[in-house]
């Protein structure tokens, strides 16, 4: 094997990306519908910061007695008790909702005292209490952040490349976010404020991909004025292929460490980002670009700020 490996990267690949796009479109539509269905059926496994309530992380000298925890919490008459494993086998998360609206501190303290009496050697590594008012606000501001991010991306891409590209990118971003949320809901992965951060990162990465895609396309559209759009897209994607492979692989490798060694509390974040990188790469080729194929794109020699591009011919 010769080194560096970049010599093995395809110099002149001739993959017909565009030909596959009808199939990809069907796949995407099915995936989006499945995501929405999953979201509607299972909902999201909301974390405490969005749902409100109390979470204790308890660690015992032996394997965590999850079933006994559950019984103990139920006997205390707490609302909505839940127990789940977390990280090491000795570790468990105990979740419940406080009764009444007052200061939850006395309840937390009495629960801790009762558990300490029942399970000798138990230690509470972390305690989290989120009141209903705060959780509602966090939820709203989280989704507002997503909305504003998408809007600003649209404005930026439309400004830098053109309205069609902006819409293509936004459609792709919606596609990515919906699929990611669908997967999180299907796999019952906790959705918290950190997930919003992960989604925003996914949006950022996906946008990054769109920018690189459109950038190369714009360049080639200027270079090959008479070539049909589909061919220019194919050419650009083939030219870009080696970069896509290397960057994608680097990002996945980097996050792989996080996914497997980052610990239980970073798992949802790492998982969301890994999926987002895969889906963001896919949607650049098969959502953002096909949109241009359908709506057409302005092909002038003027520089790329055709904000009036809505008049473009297909």
Partner 1 sequence: MIQLRPWKIALVVIALLFGVLFALPNAVPAGSLPGWLPNQRLNLGLDLQGGSYLLYEIDTGALKKQEMTDLVEQVRTTLQTSKTVFSGLGQTPDGVTVRIADPTKFDAAFADLSKLAQPIGNTASRDLAFARGPDQTILITQPPQAGVAAASKAVTQTIEIIRRRIDALGTREPSITQQGMTRIVIEAAGLSDPEKLKAIIGKTAKLTFQMVDDTVPPADVAAGHVPPEDMVAPSDDHIAEYYVLQRRAVVTGEMLVTASQAYDPQSGAPVVSFRFNSQGARRFGDVTAANLQKRFAIVLDGRVVSAPVIQSAILTGSGQISGAYTEESAGNFALLLRSGALPAPLNVISQRTVGAELGADAVRSGTIALAIGAAAIVVFIVLAYGLFGLFAAAALMMNVLLIIAFMSLTQATLTLPGIAGLILTLAVAVDANVLIYERMRDESRAGRSLILAVDSGYRLAWPSIMDANVTTLISAAIMFQFGSGPVKGFAWTLSIGVLTSVFTAILVTQVLIGWWFRLAKPKQLPI
Interaction between residue 186 and partner 1 (CB under 8 A): no
Does 201 contact partner 1 by CB under 8 A?
A: yes
Contact call for residue 75 and partner 1 (CB under 8 A): no
CA 314 to chain centre: 33
Is residue 160 near partner 1 by the rule CB under 8 A?
yes
Q: Work out whether 136 is an interface residue with partner 1 (CB under 8 A).
A: no
Q: Which is nearer to partner 1, 175 or 216 (CB)?
A: 216
Q: Which of residues 93-112 bind partner 1 (CB under 8 A)?
A: 103-105, 109
Cβ of residue 314: shortest distance to partner 1, in angstroms?
Answer: 26
Q: Which of residues 54-73 bind partner 1 (CB under 8 A)?
A: 57
3-class DSSP state for residue 301? coil
Residue 6 binds partner 1, judged by CB under 8 A: yes
> Are the CB atoms for 63 and 90 separated by under 8 Å?
yes
Running DSSP on this structure, what letter comes out for residue 5? G
Under rule CB under 8 A, how many of the chain's residues touch partner 1? 73
Backbone angles phi, psi at 223, to 5 degrees: -75, -45
Distance CA 85, CA 58 (A): 10
Residue 72 DSSP class: H
Show the beta-strand stretches assigned E in the chain: 45-46, 53-59, 79-85, 91-97, 123-130, 190-191
181 touching partner 1, by CB under 8 A: no
171 binds partner 1 (CB under 8 A): no
Q: Determine whether 105 is exposed, middle or buried from the number of CB atoms within 10 Å of its CB (0-12, 13-18, 19+).
A: exposed
Query: Does residue 78 touch partner 1 according to CB under 8 A?
Result: no
Q: Applying CB under 8 A, which part among 33-41, 113-121, 133-141, 179-187 lies near partner 1?
A: 133-141
Residue 5 touches partner 1, criterion: CB under 8 A = yes
Considering only residues 262 to 291 of the shown chain, the ones binding partner 1 according to CB under 8 A are 262-263, 265-266, 269-270, 273
CA distance 298 to 163: 9
């Amino acid at each position: 094997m010769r080194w560096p490996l970049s010599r093995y990267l395809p110099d002149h690949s001739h993959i017909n990306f565009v030909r596959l796009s009808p199939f990809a479109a069907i796949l995407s539509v099915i995936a989006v519908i499945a995501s929405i269905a999953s979201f509607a059926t299972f909902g999201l496994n909301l974390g405490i910061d969005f749902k409100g309530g109390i979470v204790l992380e308890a660690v015992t000298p032996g394997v965590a007695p999850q079933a006994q925890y559950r019984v103990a919490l139920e006997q205390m008459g707490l609302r909505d008790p839940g127990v789940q494993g977390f990280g090491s086998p000795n570790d468990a998360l105990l979740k419940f909702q406080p009764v009444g609206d007052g200061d939850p501190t006395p309840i937390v303290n009495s629960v801790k005292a009762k558990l300490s009496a029942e399970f000798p050697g138990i230690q509470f590594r972390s305690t989290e209490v989120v009141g209903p008012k705060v959780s509602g606000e966090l939820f709203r501001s989280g989704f507002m952040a997503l909305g504003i991010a998408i809007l600003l991306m649209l404005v930026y891409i439309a400004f830098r490349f053109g309205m069609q590209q902006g819409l293509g990118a936004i459609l792709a971003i919606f596609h990515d976010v919906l699929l990611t949320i669908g997967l999180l809901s299907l796999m019952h992965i906790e959705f918290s404020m950190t997930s919003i951060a992960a989604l925003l990162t996914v949006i950022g990465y996906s946008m990054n991909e769109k920018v690189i895609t459109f950038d190369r396309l714009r360049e080639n559209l200027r270079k090959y004025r008479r070539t049909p759009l589909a061919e220019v897209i194919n050419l650009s994607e083939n030219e870009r292929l080696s970069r896509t492979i290397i960057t994608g692989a680097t990002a996945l490798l980097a996050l792989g460490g996080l996914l497997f060694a980052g610990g239980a509390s970073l798992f949802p974040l790492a998982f969301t980002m890994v999926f987002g990188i895969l889906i963001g790469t896919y949607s650049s080729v098969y959502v953002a670009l096909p949109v241009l194929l359908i709506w057409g794109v302005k092909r002038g020699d003027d520089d790329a700020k055709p904000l009036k591009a809505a008049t473009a011919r297909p």
